[in-house]
Amino acid sequence: MRNRFLPLAILTALIMLLAQGCSTTEIVLNHSHLEKMSSVKLVRYQSPPVLKLTAGAKVAAITGGLLGPVGAVAGAGVGKSIAARHGKELQEQYNLPDFGEIVMERLTDQIPKELPGWPPLMIEKETATEESISKMDGYVAALNVNLVMIDDTHGLQTMAESIILDPSKNMVCHKKFIYNPVKLSRPTKLDQLTADNGKLLLDEFAFAADKTTSSFIEHLRGPQP
């Protein structure tokens, strides 16, 4: 199994892909695997810190040679450190939820409803690690949130992926989803999002989680006749 299927070592490249609107290879679950599943263990990795992109973080990243609001966090360590510090302040001020946790809750609730032919889910409450997953028996479905970022002009942007590993820990399903509020005509200005004690920002977290969940479920549903 790959070391945390999208490890931090290649996060820079993924963020640049996000900035450019590109996608990575998807793997559709083969029905032969579905037929072998008596149950599926559903787990999630620990969510990354919320990043808030500020003018200081952008300057640090541009100094490192990166351009664009998303690419900024992948530049110099200074830029990412600034973004993480301001993100933590924003999260505490407005009591922002753990994005991975709310996506996990939605998957747990929606998969049995939307995919009635699916095997029973065994929910792992504790966050997973590469080591813990390597010791799990049977099929494992894992959720990994790669990025949660709030930009002062581009709003909330998230990137997450779901995978399924067979009993030998080979990847047999993969889907990445990027939430971009600009493409959906959602609120993006930070002062608008944080007004009224962050009401719209909290709504964005819920909306992004819904979109992420729907994308993963549709991928699991597979092509329709």
Assign 59 a pLDDT band (cuts: 50, 70, 90): very low
**What confidence tier does 24 reach under pLDDT thresholds 50, 70, 90?**
low
How much is the pLDDT for 124?
94
Assign 82 a pLDDT band (cuts: 50, 70, 90): confident
Pairwise CA distance, residues 15 & 185, whole Å: 21
Mean pLDDT estimate for the chain: 83
End-to-end Cα separation, the chain, in angstroms: 32
CA-CA distance, 12 to 34, in Å (whole number)? 34
Query: Residue 57: its pLDDT value, please?
Result: 52
121 phi and psi angles, rounded to 5 deg: -95, 135
Long-range contacts formed by 10-14: CB under 8 A, 24+ apart? 11/74, 11/146, 11/147, 12/74, 14/146, 14/147, 14/159
Which residues face 179 on adjacent strands?
158
Q: What percent of the chain has pLDDT over 70?
A: 76
- The mean pLDDT of 37-64, rounded to a whole number, is 76
Handedness of CA 48, 212, 223, 40 (dihedral sign): positive
Q: Give the H/E segment covering residue 35.
A: helix 31-36
Task: Dump pLDDT digits (tens) for 160-169.
Answer: 999 999 999 9
pTM for the whole thing? Answer: 0.82
Q: Which residues pair with 27 in a beta bridge?
A: 174
pLDDT at site 222: 76
Q: How far is residue 220's CA from residue 214's CA, in Å, rounded to a whole number? A: 10
Q: What is the pLDDT of residues 128-153, one digit of tens each?
A: 999 999 999 999 999 999 999 998 88
Q: Which fold has domain 8-221?
A: Double Stranded RNA Binding Domain (3.30.160)
**Between 195-221 and 99-114, two packed helices, what is the crossing angle to 10 degrees?**
40
Distance CA 32, CA 47 (A): 31
* Confidence check: pLDDT of 110 > 60: yes
Q: Which pLDDT does position 81 carry in this prediction?
A: 80
Question: What ranges do the domains of the chain cover?
Answer: 8-221
Instruction: For tokens 């029973």, name the residue.
Output: 120
Task: State the pLDDT at residue 19.
Answer: 44
Q: Which residues contact 115 (CB under 8 A, 6 or more apart)?
A: 217, 220, 221
Instruction: Give residue for tokens 């709310």.
Output: 102
pLDDT at 72 over 50: no
Q: Higher pLDDT residue, 205 or 6? A: 205
